[in-house]
Amino acid sequence: MFLLDVGAVFLSNVVSILGSIVSGFLVPKYLGVDQYAVFKTFALYTSYIGVLHFGYIDGLYLKYGGRRESEIDLQQLSREFYFLLLLEAAVSLSLLLFSVAFKAKTLGYASILVFPSMVYGFFVLYWQATGQMRYFSAINVVKPVLFTAGLLVLIFIFKTSTADHFILLQLLMMIAIAAIILFYAKSLFKGCRFETGKFRNNLDFIKVGIFITAGNASNILLYTIDRWFVKIGLSTSDFAFYSFAVSIMAMVSVFTTSISITLYHRLARESENRDFHRLIKRLLLFFSMAAAWGYFPIAFVVERLLPAFIPALPVTAILFLSFPAMVAVNALYINLYKAQKKERVYFRNILVILALSALLNTLAFALYRSSEGIALATTLTFFLWLAWETGKNEDFQDLLRQSAILALYSLAFFGFSKAGNTLVGAAGYLAFTGVMLKCFFWQDVKPYARQILGFVSKSMPRQ
């Protein structure tokens, strides 16, 4: 079942990554460097929308984590959902009035995005917590299809090259997604009574989830602090190039998302099984190293179709060094904090890492005053974070093995990214990945490889 869930999410993520590739290349090509910087500034601001439920959705995530669909009380779930709708309508309206009063256009756009984003976030986390990946996979297909279709209309029919139009498209897409989910919710909660008298009980979820949300807010700041240094301290073009590098990372990370998204439901049932945790961490390291190969075809396309954004490639290569550590931390350790109900520990540890990141970025900015220096500080932050988590949860031998693997990966990836010829670099890194599989990961990957091959062979038509 776990592999089927991973497969379903992976297939939906294939659609998602195709949409990401189309939008990831078309948006910068047709907006240009300056307007692309405006568009990515909006994206930077809206990355904080996820904390505006004040812990409510995270409290529900902890409540439902590991439960099966048949174990859910729909009457109670409907009451919890209606409370969220009222809460976020109030938040969205307040922000909209504030933006009008102070003539803050970007905040006005963001305030409109709050309500549909929270409708989407409620059910996405609910589906993940209860293992209902078929619904998550379906909505994961609709979202990029809508945005890509709208993008093609804007570019080739209306021939627009203004960031505001692309922002409005994003707003319309999320409103459409929310409308689809509300239609689903109406069907799901058919026959449930609308009860407001018990709404006060929902405040308990905020009390439980507020530390997770505070940790997530710190985590978002951790993932965006480098861009703030670049935006505030460097030029508009530097910010555009750095944001483009982050977008390339996001494209490639889709390949590992199919595993990490389905992992929480399993970890909620295996929260104390350390052998399972070690296995998952090793698998995550290998698959993220393999997925990093995606940098090379993307760099090939950039060199030929987006010459204005070639200066982003050195920054991208440095950020990719952090990819395996970033995936392992996000997919395993952050999920474990939630599965083990250690939300306060999670919040405290995120603050420590955030302080470390702020210190390293400050030093990098003072010493180098360049995007490359900021990217290096970010990469070092994730290496140290993974080492800290490993040191707490595993023995010293595991830490040494992990450090050796990451050192080899860093040398190989960075070396092949500087090969001078992208195709040569891609071939060399692919060979390196095969060697790493044979030397370090084959015993872990082999059982899953056999299951996948068996599934494929059964699916093939017989003569």
Residue by residue, pLDDT tens for the chain (463 residues) are 444 555 556 666 677 777 777 788 888 988 889 999 989 989 988 988 988 888 888 888 777 776 777 777 888 888 888 888 999 999 999 999 998 998 888 888 889 999 999 999 888 877 877 767 777 777 878 888 888 889 999 988 988 888 999 999 999 999 999 999 999 888 888 877 766 556 667 777 888 788 878 877 888 898 899 999 999 999 999 999 999 999 888 877 766 666 666 677 678 777 778 888 888 898 889 989 998 998 999 999 999 989 999 999 999 999 999 999 999 998 888 888 878 878 788 889 989 999 999 999 999 999 999 999 999 999 999 999 999 999 988 888 889 999 999 999 999 999 999 988 999 999 999 999 999 999 988 887 877 666 544 533 443 344 4
Structure tokens at 127: 């589906």
In a domain, 360, yes or no: yes
Decide: 344 and 211 in contact? Cβ < 8 Å.
yes
Decide if 463 is inside a domain: no
Inside any domain, residue 459 = no
**Domain range spanning residue 254?**
2-449
- Count the domains in the chain: 1
Judge whether 69 lies within some domain: yes
SS (H, E, C) 43-67: HHHHCCHHHCCCCHHHHHHHHHCCC
| 109 in a structural domain | yes
Q: Which residue type sits at 263?
A: L
The residues near 19 (Cβ < 8 Å, ≥ 6 apart) are 143, 144, 145, 147, 148
Angle (CA) 285-321-328 rounded to 5° is 30
Q: How distant, in Å, are the alpha carbons of 132, 178, 187, 236 from that of 191?
A: 22, 21, 9, 54
Q: pTM to 2 decimals?
A: 0.83
d(CA 139, CA 181): 9
Is residue 322 included in any domain, yes or no? Answer: yes
462 assigned to some structural domain: no
Instruction: Confirm whether 454 is domain-assigned.
Output: no
| Number of residues written out for the chain | 463
Rounded to whole angstroms, the Cα distance separating 55 from 209 reads 4
